[in-house]
Amino acid sequence: MLTKNMEAALNQQIRVEAESSQVYLSMACWAEVKGLEGIAQFMYKHSDEERMHMLKLIKYVNERGGHAHITDLSAPETEFGTFQKMFQKLYDHEIFVSKSINELVHVSLEEKDYATHNFLQWYVAEQIEEEALARTILDKINLIGNDKGGLYLFDRDVQMITVESAASGTAE
């Protein structure tokens, strides 16, 4: 059984994950209209993954005797300037999500809710991978600079980059 404090904290994370999905979706739309099909596909896929993270939390809250709440969401940005700036925003957003997950873990320890603490370890590991992925992409973007040929190759290759491959340092 979840305490009210733990339930509230988990519901806040549900909102964070939902907004993350929206951020990626907005980035996908921006990339797609700019002709960056590979980047768009990458962002669509990650939007779906963030939604799955949200659903996993919803199921957990409801199964533990709480009530998951679906709330209004803040609208994401729709303009990113350059693909470099967009990926920097993505990285910054992943840092924000990691801090949010860490705060949630802290609440689970304060509440002595070890079942939730155990459940959240998946999210802790996932965020390490998400940050590694964003850093890997930023490193590749910095190598490209303003080279249009490099952008073309990056756009094609980014579809192949996954969270797992970034964490291990290999492409799939």
Q: Is 63 annotated as a binding residue?
A: no
- Global pTM? 0.90
Average pLDDT over residues 6-24: 98
Per-residue confidence (pLDDT) for residue 167, from 0 to 100: 46
Residue-wise DSSP of 126-167 = HHHHHHHHHHHHHHHHHHHTT-HHHHHHHHHHGGG--HHHHH
Per-residue confidence (pLDDT) for residue 171, from 0 to 100: 43
Per-residue confidence (pLDDT) for residue 28, from 0 to 100: 97
* The pLDDT of residue 164 is above 90: no
Q: Is 53 annotated as a binding residue?
A: yes
Kindly state the tokens that stand for 13.
């994370």
Q: Is 94 annotated as a binding residue?
A: yes
Output the CA–CA distances (angstroms, integers) from residue 157 to 14, 32, 140, 160, 162, in the order listed: 31, 15, 11, 6, 11
> Taking the CB of residue 69, how many other CB atoms lie within 10 A of it?
14
* The pLDDT of residue 165 is above 50: no
Per-residue confidence (pLDDT) for residue 52, from 0 to 100: 98
Predicted confidence band at 80 (pLDDT cuts at 50, 70, 90)? very high
Per-residue confidence (pLDDT) for residue 92, from 0 to 100: 97
Looking at per-residue pLDDT, the higher value among 7 and 172 belongs to: 7
Q: Is 159 annotated as a binding residue?
A: no
* The pLDDT of residue 73 is above 60: yes
Residue ranges of the domains in the chain? 4-168
Closest CA to 167 of 116, 118, 94: 94
Average pLDDT over residues 94-121: 98
Predicted confidence band at 152 (pLDDT cuts at 50, 70, 90)? confident
Q: Which of 39-53, 115-129, 154-168 has the lowest mean pLDDT?
A: 154-168
In 112-136, which positions are buried (b, 16+ CB within 10 angstroms) versus exposed (e)?
A: ebeebbebbeebeebbebbbbbbeb
* The pLDDT of residue 24 is above 60: yes
- Residue type present at position 94: E
Q: Please give the class, per CATH, of domain 4-168.
A: mainly alpha
Q: Is 127 annotated as a binding residue?
A: yes
Looking at per-residue pLDDT, the higher value among 168 and 91 belongs to: 91
User: How much of the chain, in percent, has pLDDT values that exceed 70?
Assistant: 94
